[in-house]
Amino acid sequence: MDTPVVAGDIGDTIAPPDEWLLLSEPDVGELESQLVQAVLRGPRLSAGSMVECFEDRFASWVGRSHAVAVPSGTLGTWLALRALGIGTGDEVIAAAHGWHQVAQAVALSGARTVFTDIHYWSGCLDPVRAAPHIGPATRAAIVGNVNGHPADWHGWRALAGAHGLTLIEDATESIGSTLRGQPVGRFGDVAVFDFSQPSALCCGEGGVLLTDDTALARELRYLRARSTADRRSVSVGARVPMQAQMSEPTAAIALAQLSRIDEILERRKTVEAAYLDQMLSFEGIKPPYVAPDVDVVHWMLYVVHLGKRFTASACAQIVEDLRTECIESALYCQPLHQQFHYTQAGWSRGRLPLTERVADRALALPLHAQLQPGQVRFIVETLKDSSINVGAGAAIY
């Protein structure tokens, strides 16, 4: 594992990696090693039985009919947009707020991204605020379950039905969370998961698309990669496929992680409980927001929302203070609409006030199963000391 660089230039190291409290660490056990070794002893490193087994089991775990494994969530979303026929001349509603930037697939597809604002407390794309931005060219919405909290899927279903929109659910940040008795990944016409860090189910890279639409699943598989059986076909190039398959070693890790996912999530819940207990030492602290119809939230990282008294520079100072104590932290999101590619397309700060307000003051702290209660206490005490030192007082929650 490389020494983390939380702030500053590449190569700016402070301490050996074993002295750091990292934002995330994969929960890897003996089963992962055994399955990878089985793949390495086998005849195939791609397009083999391990990928097929993972697809079947992941679809069954979420309760969807079809799963299509891909190299990443971004590529998977691009593949979904292609399969849905969305491209140049079309518009896709998306959030500028979030950790995994799968919404960038819209730019890759040639369609236009229309950013709309979020629900302040959940951080998820708000259907009420999105409604006025739906126009004749709007074909779909990419809606994420931000940092584990499910979006307002009842509201989004009503809006999509009224306007004929396809819903793409980005469930990357919320593996294991449930809404009204249903697990995330069940709510979109197509759902996408990304398994890179800091996902609770982590296999380094990789992702998967889920759908109940058999015709869509068939098109996704066709566009994902050309099969061996297609090599003599003269018609296969009618729609040029991508080279977008998950490898067998990646699938082996993913399959092992999936078989242990309940254990992994339970261990992360123990760490979350330690955070909640320690956060009580902050005067006026509120617990993390959970909407009334949400059953369970599995946070991707422990995110603290700092109060209005904090400036962006004060938050940056807190990140630096934590870094000097070998605690990796980061602002949770750098909104897409403020990044160079999108500013060139006319987006700018000031157009999404809630997104900007949250992003300026949302601080991500380490959350993974290896954290011990004493380490969590140290993180929170260091955060508390830093917040006092910058002169802004305590956090909201």
Query: From the CA atom positions of the chain, what is the Rg in Å?
Result: 21
Q: What is the largest CA-CA distance in the chain?
A: 70
Tell the residue number behind the tokens 């584990």, with chain if given.
148
**Count of alpha carbons within 13 angstroms of residue 56, beta-carbon side:** 6
Residue 83 and residue 218: Cα distance in Å, rounded? 9
98 phi-psi bin (left φ>0, alpha ψ -120 to 50, beta other): left
At the topology level of CATH, where does 17-26+261-389 sit? Aspartate Aminotransferase, domain 1 (3.90.1150)
Do the domains 17-26+261-389 and 30-259 sit in the same CATH topology, yes or no?
Answer: no
pLDDT tens-digit series, residues 278-325: 998 776 577 889 999 999 999 999 999 888 888 888 889 999 999 999
pLDDT of residue 5: 41
pLDDT tens-digit series, residues 321-367: 999 999 999 999 999 999 999 999 999 999 999 999 999 999 999 99
Question: What mean pLDDT comes out for the span 378-382?
Answer: 95
- Alpha-carbon 107 to chain mean position: 18
pTM exceeds 0.85 for this model: yes
Q: Which residue has the higher pLDDT, 273 or 99?
A: 273
**Quick one: DSSP state of residue 21?**
B
Q: Domain residue spans in the chain?
A: 17-26+261-389, 30-259
Peptide bond into 71 cis (omega under 30): no
Of the candidate ranges 117-121, 141-145, 205-209, 358-362, the one whose mean pLDDT is the lowest: 358-362
pLDDT tens-digit series, residues 140-198: 999 999 999 999 999 999 999 999 999 999 999 999 999 999 999 999 999 999 999 99
Distances in Å between the Cα of 387 and the Cα atoms of 312, 364, 393 are 13, 14, 6
CB atoms within 10 A of CB 243: 10
Question: What mean pLDDT comes out for the span 363-375?
Answer: 95
Residue of 377, 366, 395 lying closest to 305 (CA atoms): 395
pLDDT of residue 320: 96
The residue type found at 252 is A
Query: Does 30-259 carry CATH code 3.40.1050.10?
Result: no
307 phi-psi bin (left φ>0, alpha ψ -120 to 50, beta other): beta
Distances in Å between the Cα of 256 and the Cα atoms of 54, 63, 66, 259 are 9, 19, 20, 5
Mean residue pLDDT across the chain: 91
